[in-house]
């Protein structure tokens, strides 16, 4: 199989996305996960522009990586500066990496109007810099910045920029769609021409997503002969983002039959995608191809019935191969067979004609009429089924709670909550302060229950969403609250609906804790 090298720029180009800032520790963790995934190169930063990156390069050199080469990224020497005296070049050497990525101009406009130098000097800057690093024994990747725009404007000069790099010994010539405005047919045609022009030299592709074509452009470049494909995990990056490796890699490996990751490593793709989202402190795109939570989710009854008979009816690949999983969503359009499959996980003896099954279906429809949606809150759905089947004993009973909001707030805590619960006939009364009434209520409930159920300390609230259901009623409208909770074993989502946002939140909070305790109880048994 032809080897296509995955070149990850999450730590460099990805860090240029709005709202993303990695600590050195964050970068080390991401490197370890990317190496375990099996990418060939990890572009880790520009030591010449960011002093924090020098600390990172010092630390990453101690890692024993199995698959990836760390790459330091920087520009050609500056105009009129001897390469050995250029500060950026010196910083790249200090990084101590075996491989270097050098970017240079390939668009004549960028040379004359942005760098404000001659076309000849720019070619000398490219050649001098690459030759210097080759003389230091480095593997050198040359990023031809704005290559496709440059080729359209002045194809002869764009090719000269590549020739200067190749003559100096560049190991890979990367064609960059820096503005993200090129269409796939153009990328394919030009890439084919470059591959023919530079036989024996690896050609790479680096695309941005300003036209939502970065993945398509990257794939057609590989079809045209490129053997290195650059991008970021989840497509994060400046403006509209970079080419998304989480789509490119499986497209290349599963659809084109080309080797991109070591055998078996593709199944780690979804977990790596979610890990990077978590480290970057950004919500994971659940609609993302291959790695999103909805990528293999089915809701319509006819679709679900077909998938149960043969998954290829509505799935283009097996979700297991990318580390994802099929989800059958709970809803009023899911069909009885779908509900029965979920119900049988709790009571295998029930059939679609059992009266208990009909009672559950009726209850589900009634709850959804009231505003509940269980397709994203299957944990609450499971609790509903357990209660209707008499297979659930509550872990605690609420006697009462009171919430007080004080404004202005003192020390950031503007609310307090008092709660009285009963566990096994023993009452417990506690109080807590919080940043808002829901936070105060959550703290008070945990405080009351942790004495009886210390395992609650392991769980944390990871997401909280509120949606108004009937906005025509203004502040008297019903609201739907979704709470995502997690512990060391996984995450789960619960739901509450009420005309009172605190009551809706309480219902979702109770379900979250009861689901955790029920799961712990099942594991013990």
pLDDT digits (tens, 9 = 90+) for 63-103: 999 999 999 999 999 999 999 999 999 999 999 999 999 99
Mean pLDDT of 346-366: 83
Whether residue 291 lies inside any domain: the answer is: no
CB-neighbour burial class of residue 467 (10 A; exposed 0-12, middle 13-18, buried 19+): middle
Which of 335, 364, 388 is the last residue in one of the domains? 388
Task: Supply 136's token pair.
Answer: 């230091």
Whether residue 286 lies inside any domain: the answer is: no
Whether residue 464 lies inside any domain: the answer is: yes
Which of 356, 388, 420 is the last residue in one of the domains? 388
Report whether pLDDT(335) > 70. Answer: no
* Range of 234-248, 362-376, 437-451 with top mean pLDDT: 234-248
pLDDT digits (tens, 9 = 90+) for 263-278: 889 999 999 998 898 8
Give the strand order in the sheet containing 426-434. 397-410, 413-423, 426-434
Partner residues linked to 103 by β-bridges: 75, 143
Whether residue 292 lies inside any domain: the answer is: no
Identify the weakest region by mean pLDDT among 149-153, 230-234, 458-462. Answer: 458-462
Nearest to 354 by CA among 389, 383, 330: 389
| pLDDT value of position 294 | 86
Q: Are strands 41-45 and 69-75 parallel, antiparallel or unpaired?
A: parallel
Q: Are strands 460-468 and 479-487 parallel, antiparallel or unpaired?
A: antiparallel
Which of 388, 417, 439 is the last residue in one of the domains? 388
Whether residue 285 lies inside any domain: the answer is: no
Task: Supply 80's token pair.
Answer: 């009129």
More confident residue, 109 or 315: 109
Task: Supply 107's token pair.
Answer: 């668009």
Mean pLDDT of 175-197: 98
Kindly state whether residues 311 and 450 are assigned to the same domain: no
State the greatest distance between any 2 C-alpha atoms of the chain, in Å, as a whole number: 87
Whether residue 289 lies inside any domain: the answer is: no
Kindly state whether residues 134 and 233 are assigned to the same domain: yes
Kindly state whether residues 363 and 218 are assigned to the same domain: no
More confident residue, 167 or 486: 167
Length of the chain: 525
Identify the weakest region by mean pLDDT among 49-58, 147-156, 328-337, 432-441. Answer: 328-337
Whether residue 405 lies inside any domain: the answer is: yes
Whether residue 287 lies inside any domain: the answer is: no
Kindly state whether residues 46 and 189 are assigned to the same domain: yes
Kindly state whether residues 356 and 483 are assigned to the same domain: no
Domains identified in the chain, total number: 3
Kindly state whether residues 341 and 213 are assigned to the same domain: no
Report whether pLDDT(333) > 70. Answer: no
Residue 75: which domain range? Answer: 5-279
Kindly state whether residues 178 and 220 are assigned to the same domain: yes
Contacts of residue 403, Cβ cutoff 8 Å, sequence gap at least 6? 415, 416, 417, 437, 440, 441, 502
Kindly state whether residues 151 and 14 are assigned to the same domain: yes
Q: What are phi and psi of 125, to 5 degrees?
A: -60, -45
* CATH number of the domain bearing residue 508: 3.30.160.270
* CATH number of the domain bearing residue 45: 3.20.20.70
Cβ proximity of 47 and 91 under 8 Å: yes
Q: pLDDT band at residue 394, thresholds of 50, 70 and 90?
A: confident
Kindly state whether residues 327 and 412 are assigned to the same domain: no
- The structure's pTM equals 0.72
Kindly state whether residues 131 and 215 are assigned to the same domain: yes
Q: Are strands 139-145 and 479-487 parallel, antiparallel or unpaired?
A: unpaired
Kindly state whether residues 367 and 404 are assigned to the same domain: no
Question: Tokens 């452009």 — which residue?
Answer: 217
CB atoms within 10 A of CB 460: 10
d(CA 75, CA 92): 9
Kindly state whether residues 376 and 455 are assigned to the same domain: no
């Amino acid at each position: 199989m032809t080897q296509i090298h995955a070149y990850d720029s999450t730590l460099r180009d990805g860090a240029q996305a709005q709202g993303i800032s990695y600590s050195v520790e964050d970068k080390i963790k991401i490197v370890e996960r990317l190496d375990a995934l099996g990418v060939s190169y990890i572009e880790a930063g520009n030591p010449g522009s960011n002093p924090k990156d020098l600390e990172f390069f010092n630390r990453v050199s101690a890692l024993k990586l199995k698959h990836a080469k760390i790459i330091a990224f920087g520009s050609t020497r500056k105009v009129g500066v001897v390469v050995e005296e250029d500060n950026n070049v010196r910083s790249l050497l200090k990084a101590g990496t075996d491989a270097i990525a050098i970017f240079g101009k390939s668009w004549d406009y960028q040379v004359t109007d942005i760098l404000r130098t001659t076309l000849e000097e720019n070619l000398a800057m490219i050649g001098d810099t690459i030759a210097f690093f080759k003389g230091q024994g480095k593997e050198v990747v040359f990023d031809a910045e704005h290559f496709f725009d440059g080729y359209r404007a002045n194809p002869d000069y764009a090719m000269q920029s590549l020739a200067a790099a190749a003559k100096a010994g560049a190991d890979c010539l990367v064609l960059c769609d820096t503005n993200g405005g090129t269409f796939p047919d153009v990328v394919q045609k030009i890439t084919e021409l470059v591959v023919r022009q530079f036989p024996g030299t690896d050609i790479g592709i680096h695309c941005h997503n300003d036209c939502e074509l970065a993945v398509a452009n990257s794939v057609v470049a590989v079809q045209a002969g490129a053997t290195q494909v650059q991008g970021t995990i989840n497509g994060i990056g400046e403006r509209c983002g970079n080419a998304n490796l989480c789509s490119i890699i499986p497209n290349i490996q599963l659809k084109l039959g080309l080797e991109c990751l070591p055998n078996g490593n593709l199944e780690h793709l979804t977990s790596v995608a979610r890990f990077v989202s978590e480290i970057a402190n950004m919500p994971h795109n659940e609609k993302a191809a291959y790695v999103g939570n909805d990528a293999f989710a089915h809701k319509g009854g006819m679709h679900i019935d077909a998938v149960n008979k043969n998954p290829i009816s509505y799935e283009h690949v097996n979700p297991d191969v990318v580390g994802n999983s099929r989800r059958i969503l709970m809803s009023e359009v899911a069909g009885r067979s779908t509900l029965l499959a979920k119900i049988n996980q709790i009571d295998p003896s029930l059939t679609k004609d059992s009266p208990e099954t009909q009672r559950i279906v009726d209850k589900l429809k009634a709850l959804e009429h009231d505003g509940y949606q269980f397709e994203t809150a299957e944990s609450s759905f499971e609790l509903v089924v357990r209660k209707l089947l008499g297979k659930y004993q509550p872990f605690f009973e609420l006697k009462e709670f009171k919430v007080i909001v004080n404004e202005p707030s003192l020390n950031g805590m503007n609310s307090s909550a008092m709660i009285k619960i009963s566990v096994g006939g023993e009452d417990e009364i506690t109080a807590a302060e919080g940043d808002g009434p829901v936070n105060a209520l959550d703290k008070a409930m945990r405080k009351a229950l942790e004495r009886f159920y210390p395992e609650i300390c392991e769980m944390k609230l990871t997401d909280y969403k509120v949606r108004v259901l009937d906005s025509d009623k203004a502040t008297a409208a019903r609201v739907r609250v979704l709470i995502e909770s997690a512990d060391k074993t996984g995450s789960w989502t619960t739901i509450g609906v009420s005309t009172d946002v605190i009551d809706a939140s309480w219902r979702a909070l109770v379900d979250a804790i009861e689901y955790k305790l029920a799961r712990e109880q099942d594991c013990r048994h």
